[in-house]
DNA sequence: GTGTTTGCAAAATCTTTGCATGACG
DNA sequence: CGTCATGCAAAGATTTTGCAAACAC
């Protein structure tokens, strides 16, 4: 089922003239199956566990490629290695529970609208944004 | 005038039992005088230019110390080395002009309020947050 | 075929740290 | 003076890259 999604992504890559190698295919599958936000080392470990022979260098190169294709998003939380998530979901921001480390996704249309408004007032268009709430259970 | 602010900060450090060394004093002055958002290497360069003998390792250690004292804030924009700013200003967020690299500060009470509201609804208190708008002139 | 991608190991970048020496309070 | 801070150089952590071999299309 996540494989169906991975297959769709592979086709998109081929259509964009990007070669679908064994390694890229494996990584697409790992990313499509991930329900969390893994970093490069974790994705590498999962790919290897899944039986894919792939080097860490290739993982990094592939992540860059997939990001350029708009297939995945890069998350850079404070001081951690970068994490990644599939991009084919609806837009959302992140809330990080500082005690458990859990990452919670959320969206708020009002905030989105305000951001665009503020940028526009100053003569800018938003290319992308980053909103992270570092929180603690009350 | 920024020296007055630096002196005030030095006193606060002493009161907190933190030694005010020649190096820390110099860095406080450089930070108080900065109108931009320099990284560690840049702060080091400015301190050295100002005639202070200080090593890069000490700059890093000092930044950590000053942050722990709540005197400076750490900014981590996408993929760049960390930047720093004096903390004794009113809270604000950052807009990054992707073409010029300029960092623009802004605040919006409505966004602040919404963030707190969203966190509260999910049973959390915000410890701190990060809002960055990556923008382009329209 | 042939231009891309991979693996490996080496390098780049930013940041932290161990240890002997020096200096603040 | 005792303790804490510094400098240096070496190590850490993450990410990038040069080059020859392997592979997708």
The string of DSSP codes covering A78-105 is TTSPPEEEESSS---EEEEETTT--EEE
Query: Which token pair is B126?
Result: 């915000």
Residues B16 and B72 grouped into a single domain: yes
Residue with tokens 């009113």: B90
- When divided into structural domains, chain B yields a total of 2
Residues B49 and B110 grouped into a single domain: no
pLDDT at position B27, please?
97
Residues A82 and A97 grouped into a single domain: no
- Give me the CATH number covering residue A102: 3.30.1490.190
Beta bridge partner(s), residue A112: none
Using the predicted structure, report yes or no on whether residue A1 has a pLDDT greater than 70. no
* CA distances for A66 relative to A28, A86, B71, angstroms: 9, 10, 40
Using the predicted structure, report yes or no on whether residue B1 has a pLDDT greater than 80. no
Strand C bases with any atom < 7 A from protein Cβ: 4-10, 13-18, 23-25
Does at least one atom of strand C sit less than 7 Å from the CB of B60? Answer: yes
Residue A9 structural domain: 2-86
Residue with tokens 């959302």: A92
DSSP state, residue B129: E
Does at least one atom of strand C sit less than 7 Å from the CB of B113? Answer: no
B108–A114 CB contact, under 8 Å: yes
Smallest CA–C1' separation from B76, nucleotide: C14
What's the CA B68/C1' C23 distance, rounded, in angstroms?
23
The string of pLDDT tens digits covering residues A51-97 is 988 999 999 999 999 999 999 999 999 889 999 999 877 899 999 99
Identify the weakest region by mean pLDDT among B4-13, B21-30, B64-73, B122-131: B4-13
The string of pLDDT tens digits covering residues A7-52 is 888 888 998 889 999 999 999 999 999 999 999 999 999 999 999 8
Residues A79 and A102 grouped into a single domain: no
Residues A12 and A73 grouped into a single domain: yes
CB atoms within 10 A of CB B1: 7
Query: For all residues of chain B together, what is the average pLDDT?
Result: 93
Beta bridge partner(s), residue B39: B83
Distance of residue A116 Cα from the nearest chain B Cα, in angstroms: 9
Using the predicted structure, report yes or no on whether residue B50 has a pLDDT greater than 70. yes
- Hey, which residues 47-106 in chain B have their CB within 8 Å of chain A? 74, 76, 78-79, 95, 97-98, 104, 106
Residues A29 and A64 grouped into a single domain: yes
pLDDT at position A132, please?
95
Residues A71 and A112 grouped into a single domain: no
Smallest CA–C1' separation from A19, nucleotide: D24
| Confidence band for B127, pLDDT divided at 50, 70 and 90 | very high
Residue with tokens 């604000």: B92
Does at least one atom of strand D sit less than 7 Å from the CB of A55? Answer: no
Residues A29 and A49 grouped into a single domain: yes
Using the predicted structure, report yes or no on whether residue B63 has a pLDDT greater than 90. yes
- Give me the CATH number covering residue A52: 1.10.10.10
Q: Please answer whether residues B103 and B35 qualify as being in contact, where contact means their C-beta atoms are separated by less than 8 angstroms.
A: no
Residues B72 and B99 grouped into a single domain: no
Query: Which token pair is A67?
Result: 């990001």
Picking from B48, B65, B86, the residue at the C-terminal end of a domain is B86
Residues A51 and A79 grouped into a single domain: yes
Residues B121 and B57 grouped into a single domain: no
What's the CA A37/C1' D24 distance, rounded, in angstroms?
30
Residues B103 and B81 grouped into a single domain: no
B122–A95 CB contact, under 8 Å: yes
Using the predicted structure, report yes or no on whether residue B79 has a pLDDT greater than 90. no
Instruction: Identify which of B66, A22, B18 has the alpha carbon closest to the alpha carbon of residue A30.
Output: A22
Average pLDDT over residues B49-73: 95
What share of chain B has pLDDT > 70, as a percent? 99
Instruction: Please provide the DSSP assignment of B54-116 as one string.
Output: --HHHHHHHHHHHHHTTSEEEE--TTSPPEEEESSS---EEEEETTT--EEEE--HHHHHHHH
pLDDT at position B37, please?
94
Picking from B86, B108, B123, the residue at the C-terminal end of a domain is B86
Nearest to B126 among A119, A122, A135 (CB): A135
């Amino acid at each position: 089922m996540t494989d169906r999604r991975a297959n769709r992504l592979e086709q998109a890559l081929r259509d964009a003239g990007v070669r679908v190698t064994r390694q890229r295919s494996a990584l697409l599958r790992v990313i499509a199956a991930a329900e969390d936000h893994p970093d490069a080392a974790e994705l590498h470990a999962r790919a290897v566990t899944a039986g894919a022979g792939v080097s860490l260098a290739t993982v990094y190169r592939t992540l860059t490629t997939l990001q350029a294709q708009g297939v995945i998003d890069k998350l850079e939380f404070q001081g951690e290695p970068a994490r990644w998530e599939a991009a084919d979901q609806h837009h959302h921001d992140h809330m990080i529970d500082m005690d458990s480390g859990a990452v919670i996704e959320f969206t708020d249309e009002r905030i989105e609208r305000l951001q665009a408004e503020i940028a526009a007032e100053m003569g800018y268009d938003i290319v992308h944004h980053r909103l992270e709430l570092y929180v603690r259970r009350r």
